Structure 1
Amino acid sequence: MTVVVKWTGREAAALGKALSLSIRGYAEYLDVNPTTVQKWRNRGQALDVMPETAQLLEEALRRCDAEAVAKFEALLAENEPTTVLSASRVSESVPLGPVRVTSHKFIPVYLGAAVEPLFADAEPCPLGPGALEHRALPAVHLDAVPASRLHLYACGVAIFHLVQPRTVARLSELAAWRYQSYVTDMDWATDRLRELLAAKGVAMDAAATYVLSAYHLEDSPWEGSQLETALQVLTTPSVVVDREHPDGPQRLGDDAERALFAEGYAHPDAIDFGIKAVSMGLAGWSGVAYHPLAADRALPMSAIVALELDVQTLWALSTYVIDEIEAARDPVMPDEAYGWRWLRGACSRLTAARPQETSQHQLMREAVLATSQLPDRLRAAQEALRESSV
């Protein structure tokens, strides 16, 4: 198995040549704009490929036959340093596990005013970094511990927080479980909310559309650079999974995983928020990974959970607002108090540093906000509500 550690214009263009595709043919194959392919050819290593497009390229490489892979490797070998790892060069001595983690899944659904009957029955919760009023009910899930909760926000969002301890033989098993369980967990979250609301005489049309994961790495066989690679894989699981497999997402072979650990892997868009000798932390588009080195000085996982609850709540709310505007409809908020001014305040509370905030909290908050792209989304939703006089 050939693994690309970092996709730049150079690797992306080489794959198109290895497949013997024209610029237009390659663009159609990947479902990207032909000008994007042209930029890859023109700018080479000076251009970093966007994470979403890198996933398309990874999947295209996995579908290549042996001849195309050999041609791809030969094209890249002409110019060092290479970012491609061949499984034949990887030592069998590289450990793959076992790995013990606690998985935290966040599954939000925008309910609007329909949240009110559930909110009334729930227990108040301490305010998080965004100071969003919310309450919680138990979330009974067959694969989650009793600490799991359904958080209900006064602004109209319900968000399931599922806590699931996992011990796996290798990270690719965890990554495959992650993708496979996302589908069933979203269906479960939607069905569970419908049941709860139906008991209150309220119909629900909304559905869960995404899951965000945060991993607390408890124990592993790695240290140093290999431990850094492990956190990178936890934040970008697609690198060890075949998401296009006919039977659903499947883990790649051990050779592909060993290649990453042997040579080191770092996603260009993952942001480090660790503190030397205290903790290791990474935030990426697909999630967060954290490993304390000094438990008494590191962030408690509850701090990361509190931030993600507020971030994912505001993401779901802003998505609803933007989707309504794009559909030529005026957004309907659960209460007139949750208009553009309230959204402006929530954005300010999340993005502004606080005097009582530690450096670790600040680094974590900034990394999560940057990789989620929430501030830009909140500003867009705020402007949309303002124009709609909400």
Structure 2
Amino acid sequence: MAVVVQWTGWEAAHLGKAMRLSIREYAARLGVNPATITKWRKRGRAIELRPETADMLDEMLRRCDDEVIATFEAALRSDGGPGLGDKDLEALGLAVPLGPARVVSHKFIPVYVGEAVRPLFEQAVPCPAGPGRLEHRVALAGHPDAADRSQLHLYACGVAVFHLVQPRTVERLGDLAAWRYRSYVADLEWATARLHERLAEAGAATEAAATYVLSAYLLEESPWQGSQLETALQVLATPSVVVDREHPQGPQRLGDDVERALFADGYTHPDAVNFGIRAVSMGLAGWSGVAYHPVAAERALPMEAIVALELDVQTLWALSTYVLDEVEAGRDPVMPDEAYGWRWLRGAYSRLTAARPQETAQHQLMREAVLATSQLPDRLRAAQEALRESIS
């Protein structure tokens, strides 16, 4: 646990950044004027805070979760300014490479559209079912930044899922994380507009909008080995630790010193679940994404296996969310076809959660990690019960 002996404006400002709070939100929590927070950011260590303010900050820090504390501790280990030299970095144990890395980004953007999916479904090309054995077809999506590698998966149960494949070479993982958060906003707007356009062309319509993006990263090349490689996957799966998402100019990476500190000391998110196999692969699943690196490519899982599972998981997440949202609004859910009732959901739940005789140990570990971090099984059970009650 981080302990601050003397709170200055520098430490106080970095705690607010680690908590992802805007200047106004941070000021409101502390009961100070927003101008005070701005002054802390500008003057840094030139300002020593009063004991009563330090006490409030101590209490706020004690209540922070592990991810915030890790980000704050990384900032404390840096010097808060530019240009640590190589000898200084070696003395601090921070002389680790920060890049470059080659990563293939897979984004999944699901939208529940109900029976409006039917005309698009009928026009699309049949494709093999995933592990959930959900009937679906595929069409080109035409994303401007992934024109040749973007698809629209259309599920008979009423869900459309955009799958965008975008290779990236980055100098720093923080650059990738900042791109991720910035591109999400544009991708959500694009997915909603594109889906409405495709439905209109097919003579259908919906008011549904894309609301979230799930990422899966394949780390192809990097300068890291051993524990540094493990840290890199942790950052890929839970990228908020290297990004200031409340920056006035949009998400920005926190800087080289923060990333060096994370690599030097190692970083483990408490909610990330490991599904790697020693000497074969390294894999992590978290709430906000999946990261995977094949150590022995000929024996590791193909990325297509992770993609197939995520397509089914995100489809069922979107469907169960629709059902639960309708129930909470006091309405009975209307499924696109009577075949997709609570029994169908029960079958999908069983197919995703039960081990199969032909399933490899790697595949089982990956499936269990993704399901555990997505919390999909609980949502499916709740949606089953809601649908069963709606017809009783």
Common fold: TM-score over 0.5: yes
Residue 371 of structure 1 aligns with which residue?
373
Per-residue CA deviations over 1:257-309 (Å, capped at 9, x if unaligned) read: 11100110000110000000000000000000000000000000000000000
Q: Report the identity percentage.
A: 72
Structure 1: give runs of 5+ residues left out of the alignment: 1-9, 20-53, 77-81
Deviation at 1:183, TM superposition (A): 0.6
Whole-angstrom CA distance in 1 between matches of 2:104 and 2:48: 36
Matches within 5 A, 1:163-174: 163-174=165-176
Residue 270 of structure 2 aligns with which residue?
268
**One-letter amino acid matched to 1:169:** E
Residue 31 of structure 2 aligns with which residue?
none
Please say if residues 141 and 147 of structure 2, whose CA atoms lie closer than 8 Å, have aligned partners that are also in contact: no
Deviation at 1:55, TM superposition (A): 11
Query: Of the two, which has the highest radius of gyration?
Result: 2
Among 140, 144, 147, the alignment partner of 2:146 is 144
Residue 65 of structure 2 aligns with which residue?
none
Residue 115 of structure 1 aligns with which residue?
117
Residue 31 of structure 1 aligns with which residue?
none
Deviation at 1:58, TM superposition (A): 3.0
Please say if residues 61 and 69 of structure 1, whose CA atoms lie closer than 8 Å, have aligned partners that are also in contact: no
Q: Residues 160 and 370 (structure 1 numbering): CA distance in 2 closer, same or farther, change over 3 Å?
A: same
Matches within 5 A, 1:155-170: 155-170=157-172
**One-letter amino acid matched to 1:182:** Y
Residue 390 of structure 2 aligns with which residue?
388
Deviation at 1:94, TM superposition (A): 1.6
Please say if residues 137 and 155 of structure 2, whose CA atoms lie closer than 8 Å, have aligned partners that are also in contact: yes
Among 197, 200, 203, the alignment partner of 2:199 is 197
Whole-angstrom CA distance in 2 between matches of 1:133 and 1:210: 23
Among 282, 289, 300, the alignment partner of 1:298 is 300
2:269 is paired with a residue whose SS is: coil
Deviation at 1:373, TM superposition (A): 0.2
Among 10, 15, 19, the alignment partner of 1:58 is 19
Deviation at 1:148, TM superposition (A): 2.0
Matched, 1:87 2:78: yes
Deviation at 1:387, TM superposition (A): 0.5
Per-residue CA deviations over 1:58-105 (Å, capped at 9, x if unaligned) read: 3259977446999679x99xxxxx963411475562211001000000
1:59 is paired with a residue whose SS is: coil
Please say if residues 145 and 163 of structure 1, whose CA atoms lie closer than 8 Å, have aligned partners that are also in contact: no
Please say if residues 58 and 239 of structure 1, whose CA atoms lie closer than 8 Å, have aligned partners that are also in contact: no
Residue 85 of structure 2 aligns with which residue?
none
Q: Residues 376 and 60 (structure 1 numbering): CA distance in 2 closer, same or farther, change over 3 Å?
A: same
2:321 is paired with a residue whose SS is: helix
Residue 353 of structure 1 aligns with which residue?
355
**One-letter amino acid matched to 1:280:** M
**One-letter amino acid matched to 2:339:** A
Matched, 1:126 2:109: no
Whole-angstrom CA distance in 1 between matches of 2:327 and 2:339: 19
2:117 is paired with a residue whose SS is: helix
Residue 324 of structure 1 aligns with which residue?
326
Residue 344 of structure 2 aligns with which residue?
342
Q: Residues 92 and 260 (structure 1 numbering): CA distance in 2 closer, same or farther, change over 3 Å?
A: closer
Deviation at 1:201, TM superposition (A): 2.1
Matched pairs, number: 340
Please say if residues 145 and 164 of structure 1, whose CA atoms lie closer than 8 Å, have aligned partners that are also in contact: no
Please, what TM-score do these two structures have when normalized by structure 2?
A: 0.81
**One-letter amino acid matched to 2:262:** L
Whole-angstrom CA distance in 2 between matches of 1:133 and 1:267: 35
Whole-angstrom CA distance in 1 between matches of 2:305 and 2:389: 35
Q: Residues 204 and 213 (structure 1 numbering): CA distance in 2 closer, same or farther, change over 3 Å?
A: same
Please say if residues 146 and 166 of structure 2, whose CA atoms lie closer than 8 Å, have aligned partners that are also in contact: yes
**One-letter amino acid matched to 1:161:** H
Q: Residues 199 and 172 (structure 1 numbering): CA distance in 2 closer, same or farther, change over 3 Å?
A: same
Whole-angstrom CA distance in 2 between matches of 1:187 and 1:172: 24
Please say if residues 94 and 261 of structure 2, whose CA atoms lie closer than 8 Å, have aligned partners that are also in contact: no
1:162 is paired with a residue whose SS is: strand
Among 230, 239, 255, the alignment partner of 2:232 is 230
Please, what TM-score do these two structures have when normalized by structure 1?
A: 0.82
Whole-angstrom CA distance in 2 between matches of 1:92 and 1:269: 26
Structure 2: give runs of 5+ residues left out of the alignment: 9-14, 27-36, 62-68, 80-88
Please say if residues 279 and 292 of structure 1, whose CA atoms lie closer than 8 Å, have aligned partners that are also in contact: yes
Q: Residues 158 and 58 (structure 1 numbering): CA distance in 2 closer, same or farther, change over 3 Å?
A: same
Whole-angstrom CA distance in 1 between matches of 2:288 and 2:206: 28
Whole-angstrom CA distance in 1 between matches of 2:190 and 2:235: 27
Deviation at 1:204, TM superposition (A): 1.5
Deviation at 1:246, TM superposition (A): 1.1
Whole-angstrom CA distance in 2 between matches of 1:92 and 1:299: 33
Q: Residues 18 and 384 (structure 1 numbering): CA distance in 2 closer, same or farther, change over 3 Å?
A: farther
